[in-house]
Amino acid sequence: MIRPILRYGERGLHGRAADVTTFDDALQRAIDDMIETMYAAPGIGLAAPQIGVPLRILSIDLSVGRTTGDLIIMINPVFLERDGSQLEEEGCLSAPGFNATVLRPARVVVKGLDREGREQTREGTGLLARAFQHEIDHLDGTVFIDRLRGIKRDLMVRKIHKLKKTGQW
């Protein structure tokens, strides 16, 4: 089921998500909804809190469903390694219409569980490293806008407030 994506400023987006402890049907349904919602958006990544599920689950597919085997589902992810840095333009499904350059690691190694609860480790460079950091940020209640500094961030937040006031957010 495609679910509505929460937007910057909405409650569910700004807290720390809880670890997954039960691998039941409800979890599988939530993951299916994440994948469907991510592809429909379309986007290359989604975190469970973005569809109102306060659990530490992320989905990433750099091919947006075009290449079999590209889909990554990672539960309770933790960084084992983070090296280097990259500065590229970034956006978020929870902040449509907004983009900014964000400092991210150039390479990451992430450990977590797959949707059956089996341990998995993934390495990512470039865009994949960026996606892992962006989605794990979501699990900690951080949206890319929160990573910006000073006037850039203020300007974006002010624009969002304005959109909210006129019912466009």
Question: Of 42 and 117, which has the nearer Cβ to Ni ion?
Answer: 42
Residue 143 CB, shortest distance to Ni ion, in Å, is 6
Residue 11 CB, shortest distance to Ni ion, in Å, is 16
Do 7 and 13 form a contact (C-beta atoms < 8 A)?
A: yes
Residue 109 CB, shortest distance to Ni ion, in Å, is 21
Question: Of 31 and 139, which has the nearer Cβ to Ni ion?
Answer: 139
Of 85, 55, 91, which Cα lies nearest the Cα of 73? Answer: 55
Spatial separation of the C-alpha atoms in residues 8 and 16, rounded to whole Å: 15
Spatial separation of the C-alpha atoms in residues 159 and 164, rounded to whole Å: 9
Helices (H), 63-149: 126-139
- Binding footprint of Ni ion on the chain (CB under 5 A): 92
Residue 24 CB, shortest distance to Ni ion, in Å, is 26
Question: Of 60 and 92, which has the nearer Cβ to Ni ion?
Answer: 92
Question: Of 31 and 92, which has the nearer Cβ to Ni ion?
Answer: 92
135 counts as catalytic: yes
Of 59, 51, 54, 48, which Cα lies nearest the Cα of 15? Answer: 54
Identify the active-site residue in 90, 116, 119, 135.
135
Do 112 and 55 form a contact (C-beta atoms < 8 A)?
A: no
Spatial separation of the C-alpha atoms in residues 145 and 30, rounded to whole Å: 26
Q: Which residues are catalytic?
A: 135
